[in-house]
Chain A
Amino acid sequence: MSRHARTLEQKFKIPTVAAAGANIVGYATGYDFQYSNGCPIRYVAFPFPVAGQPKSIHKQYIEGKDQVSGKPIMQTIVDALTLPPTDKEKVEGVPPEARPEPRLLPPDTEDNLQRLFKDKDWTDYNPIILPTEERVAAMLKCTSRKPDDVVKVVNWPGGARPLTVEKAAVCAVMAGAKPEYFPVILALATNVPFGNSTTQMANMIVVNGPIRNEIGMNSGGHALGPYNEANAVIGRTLTLMSKTAGGLHNRVTAWSSQGNNLQYNNLCFAENEEGLPAGWDPLHVQMGFKPTDNVLTVGTGWTYIASVGSVQHLYPPQNLMRDYMQALTANGSGATILMDPTVAGLLKTVHGFETKAALAQWLSQNVQKTAASYWGNAVVASMAEPLALQGLEPYATWQKAPGDAMIKPFNNPRAIQIVLVGGKTQSTWFATDFRLGRGVLINDWK
Chain B
Amino acid sequence: MKKRYVRLIALIAAAALVVAAYGTAQNKPPAQTGRLITVLNPAVANTMARRIPLAPRLSTLEGKTIYMVDINWGGPEAAMSIFEEMQAWFAKNMPSVKTVIKIKKGGYETDDPGLWQEISEKGNAVIMGVSG
Contact = CB atoms under 8 A, between A and B. Distances in A.
Interface of A: 1, 3-25, 33-42, 46, 48-52, 54-55, 58-59, 61-62, 74, 77-78, 81-85, 89-105, 107-113, 117, 120, 122, 130-133, 136, 154, 158-163, 166-167, 170-171, 174, 240, 244-245, 247, 375, 378, 381-383, 385-387, 389-390
Interface in B61-77: 61, 66, 69, 71-77
Shortest Cβ-Cβ A-B pairs, 10 listed: A21-B132, A381-B75, A51-B74, A19-B129, A38-B49, A111-B31, A51-B78, A62-B85, A107-B36, A39-B52
A122 B124 CA distance: 46
Contacts of A247: 44, 46
A46 B85 CA distance: 13
A132 B39 CA distance: 4
17 contacts: A1-B108, A1-B131, A20-B130, A33-B49, A37-B52, A50-B131, A82-B58, A84-B57, A93-B50, A98-B46, A102-B41, A161-B47, A244-B44, A382-B72, A382-B74, A386-B76, A386-B105
Interface in B33-57: 34-57
Contacts of A389: 76, 103, 105
Nearest to B38: A107
A23 B66 CA distance: 25
Contacts of B100: none
Nearest to B71: A1
A122 B104 contact: no
A385 B79 CA distance: 14
B46 to A, nearest CB: 4
Given A1-B128, A19-B129, A171 B47 contact: no
B96 interface: no
Nearest to B67: A14
A41 to B, nearest CB: 8
B59 interface: yes
Given A62-B86, A90-B54, A107 B37 contact: yes
Given A23-B132, A39-B54, A245 B126 contact: no
A104 B39 contact: yes
Question: Contact size class for B?
Answer: 35 or more
Given A24-B131, A244-B44, A74 B50 contact: no
Contacts of A55: 81, 84-85
B93 A74 contact: yes
B56 A84 contact: yes
A35 B111 contact: no
A18 B82 contact: no
Given A8-B116, A50-B132, A385-B75, A90 B39 contact: no
Contact of A103 (B41, B53, B61): B41
B47 A92 contact: no
Given A51-B132, A81-B61, A102-B41, A93 B48 contact: no
B127 to A, nearest CB: 5
Contacts of B123: 14
Given A81-B57, A386-B110, A14 B45 contact: no
A134 to B, nearest CB: 10
Nearest to A123: B42
Given A62-B85, A94-B51, A98-B47, A82 B61 contact: yes
Interface of B: 29-31, 34-61, 66, 69, 71-79, 81-82, 84-86, 89, 93-94, 103-112, 116, 119-120, 123-132
B47 A35 contact: yes
A383 B76 CA distance: 10
Contacts of A131: 39-40, 42
B85 A59 contact: yes
A240 B43 CA distance: 11
Contacts of B30: 109-110
Contact of A378 (B61, B74, B84, B125): B74
Which of A14, A17, A59, A117 gathers most chain B CB within 10 Å? A14
Contacts of B108: 1, 382
A321 B61 CA distance: 58
Contacts of A170: 40-42
Contact of A89 (B53, B79, B129, B131): B53
Contacts of A158: 49
A48 B132 contact: yes
Given A15-B126, A90-B54, A35 B48 contact: yes
Contacts of A51: 73-75, 78-79, 130-132
Nearest to A56: B81
Contacts of A390: 105-106
